[in-house]
Amino acid sequence: MSDLRGLSLRQLRALTATVRLGSITAAAKALHVTPPAISIQLKLLSKQAGGEVLERTAGGFEPTALGSEVLQAAHEMEGVLDRLGDRVGALHTGAVGLLRLGVVSTGKYFAPRIVAAFQRAHPGIVVKLVIGNRGEILAGLRQRNFDLCIMGRPPEDLPVIREELGDHPHVLIAPPDHRLAGRADIAHAELQQETFLAREEGSGTRMLMSRFLDRVGGERPVQVVDMGTNETIKQAVMAGLGIALISAHTCASELAEGKLVALDARGTPIVRQWYIIHRADHELSVAADRFQVFAAAHKSEHFFEALASGRHEVN
């Protein structure tokens, strides 16, 4: 029978560190205690949880099914404590509020402008801006590390409240001397021999490009080369290593300067939406509510129009 009312942060941090680092010795070193101290905390935790929370594998310690539930709660508690620390710090500095904002990496091309404009209008509110890949931002949202998040595709496995912020066009970019540059209404067959440079599996842009390539390739496989970041993709395209379907926000300056061109391929640009979201079970603070209202009211100032008049959807 479990009785979790007596759980302590020491026990939860011992579990988190042991799972993350794979051994009690490494966890003890990270937490600046002795290995026996970690073992005692884990034994107490298992007793209170009513079963083993860890199991030893060839690769080290891993959580049991019971341990996974406790670990998720530990992550959420750490997120709550982090937010509390930030808010207390903000109050000590004289701020009237604090907002923790998570933004997917593609949003770094416009999110700082929104934050700067908001802080000019509300100087008493501190905004802690965190930019990361989609997986990192979703993990933070699940662990309650963020009050609000800006992303292009809300999670399907977590109840959220979302509001549209603006268009998110994706364009097919190529170097200016590409054989298809300047041509109109490029057929998909013309693209089948091209090498496509893509973000990592799991990113929103990669998923969108995969759907587009399903139409381009038909029964024929299309060559795809993975790249780590949008910046790497842009440099590789400029060098002539391939073409890429990429967020227009990430390459606006290169297109304007003529370093890249947007190919007029059928079905492009592909226009999605940017959303500002928060967990449905999380009540917004005054600071977060003010930011959400501000961002929605000023969204036309921070999002440019799609690069072509047509709107295309990939289902």
Q: What is the tally of structural domains in the chain?
A: 3
- Tell me if 105 sits within 8 A of 133, measured CB to CB: yes
**36: domain CATH number?**
1.10.10.10
pLDDT of residue 309: 32
Residue numbers of the domain that contains 17: 4-70
309 within domain boundaries: no
pLDDT at position 40 is 92
Question: Of the candidates 53, 70, 87, which is a domain's last residue?
Answer: 70
134 and 188, same domain (yes or no): no
E-state strands within the chain: 54-57, 60-63, 97-104, 125-132, 148-151, 160-174, 195-198, 223-226, 244-247, 261-262, 270-279
Q: What is the mean pLDDT of each run of 10 residues along the chain (315 residues)?
A: 77 91 92 92 89 87 90 87 79 75 91 92 92 92 94 92 91 96 92 89 81 80 86 95 92 92 93 94 89 87 45 41
Examine the domain organization and report whether 296 and 160 are in the same domain. yes
**Which are the contacts of 309, defined by CB distance < 8 A and separation ≥ 6?**
none
- The verdict on residue 311 lying in a domain is no
Whole-prediction pTM: 0.69
253 and 290 inside one domain: no
DSSP 50-100: TS--EEEETTEEEE-HHHHHHHHHHHHHHHHHHHHHHHHHHHHTT-SEEEE
Say yes or no: 189 and 224 in one domain.
Answer: yes
What is the three-class DSSP state of 130?
strand
Quote the CA–CA distance of 209 and 167 in Å, as a whole number.
Answer: 17
Per-residue model confidence (pLDDT) at position 94: 54
Question: Are 266 and 177 contained in the same domain?
Answer: yes
Instruction: Judge if 180 and 250 occupy the same domain.
Output: yes
* Residue 314 resides in a domain: no
Distance from CA of residue 78 to its chain's centroid? 19
CATH number of the domain at 182, please.
Answer: 3.40.190.10
Whether residue 162 is found in the same domain as residue 246: no
